[in-house]
C-alpha cells in the first residue's frame, strides 16, 4: 500500500502533467483560432481535462493564453559581458518566436488577449517588467555608470525605443521581426547614446 508521501507525489505529478497538457492545448487552440475565437471547450477536449479544472486554475482565461505563450519564449542565454550582446540576449527570444508562423500567431494571440482582458494585460505587463524592462534598466544604468554611454537620457524612453517596435510589428503590421533585429537595434541605440 503506497504511503502518504508517495500518494502526494503522484498527485503532484498528475497535477503538473495536467497543467502542461492544458497549456499545450491552449497554445494549439490560440494558434489555430486566435484569441477572439478561442474555445475553452476545445482546450478541454484536446487536453483531456474538465472545464472545471481549467477555470479553477485560470479564472481569467486570457491569463491562461498569455501564460501558454510566455512559456514558449526561451530564457536568455549566458551573459557575455558585451553591452550589445547583453541587450540582444534579452530581446532575441522575442525576435526568434516571431519568425515561425506558429510562434508569431501565438504571441500575437497573447497580445490581443492582454489587450482585451485586464487580468491577462496585468499578467503580461508583469512579465514584461520582470523579464525585459528591469533587466534592460539594469544594463543601461550599469553601462552609463561605466561611461560607455552618456547618462543624460530618459531610461524608460530608451527602453520603449528598443521594445516598442516589437509590439507594433506584431499588432499593427502583422509582420515578424526581421533577422538580426535585436542586434541592429541594440547597436544603433548604444551608438546614439555613446559618450561624446
- How many CA within 13 A on the CB side of residue 90? 25
For the chain, which residues make up each domain, given as ranges?
4-69, 72-192
* CATH assignment, 72-192: 1.10.357.10
What is the C-alpha separation between 50 and 6, in angstroms, rounded? 25
Task: Quote the pTM value.
Answer: 0.84
4-69: CATH architecture: Orthogonal Bundle (1.10)
pLDDT tens-digit map of 103-157:
888 998 999 999 999 999 999 999 999 999 999 999 999 998 988 888 888 888 8
pLDDT tens-digit map of 59-88:
999 999 999 999 988 887 777 788 999 999
In which residue are the cell numbers 520603449 written?
A: 160
- What nine digits make up the cell of 41? 471547450
Amino acid at each position: 500500500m503506497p504511503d502518504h508521501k508517495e500518494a502526494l507525489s503522484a498527485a503532484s505529478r498528475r497535477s503538473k502533467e495536467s497543467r502542461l497538457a492544458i497549456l499545450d492545448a491552449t497554445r494549439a487552440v490560440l494558434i489555430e483560432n486566435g484569441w477572439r475565437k478561442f474555445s475553452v471547450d476545445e482546450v478541454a477536449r484536446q487536453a483531456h481535462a474538465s472545464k472545471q479544472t481549467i477555470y479553477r486554475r485560470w479564472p481569467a482565461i486570457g491569463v491562461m493564453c498569455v501564460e501558454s505563450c510566455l512559456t514558449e519564449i526561451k530564457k536568455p542565454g549566458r551573459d557575455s559581458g558585451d553591452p550589445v550582446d547583453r541587450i540582444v540576449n534579452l530581446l532575441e527570444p522575442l525576435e526568434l518566436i516571431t519568425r515561425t508562423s506558429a510562434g508569431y500567431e501565438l504571441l500575437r494571440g497573447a497580445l490581443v488577449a492582454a489587450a482585451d482582458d485586464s487580468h491577462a494585460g496585468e499578467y503580461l505587463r508583469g512579465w514584461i517588467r520582470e523579464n525585459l524592462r528591469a533587466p534592460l534598466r539594469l544594463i543601461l544604468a550599469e553601462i552609463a555608470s561605466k561611461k560607455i554611454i552618456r547618462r543624460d537620457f530618459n531610461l524608460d524612453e530608451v527602453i520603449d525605443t528598443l521594445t516598442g517596435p516589437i509590439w507594433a510589428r506584431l499588432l499593427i503590421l502583422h509582420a515578424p521581426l526581421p533577422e538580426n533585429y535585436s542586434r541592429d537595434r541594440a547597436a544603433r541605440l548604444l551608438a546614439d547614446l555613446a559618450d561624446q
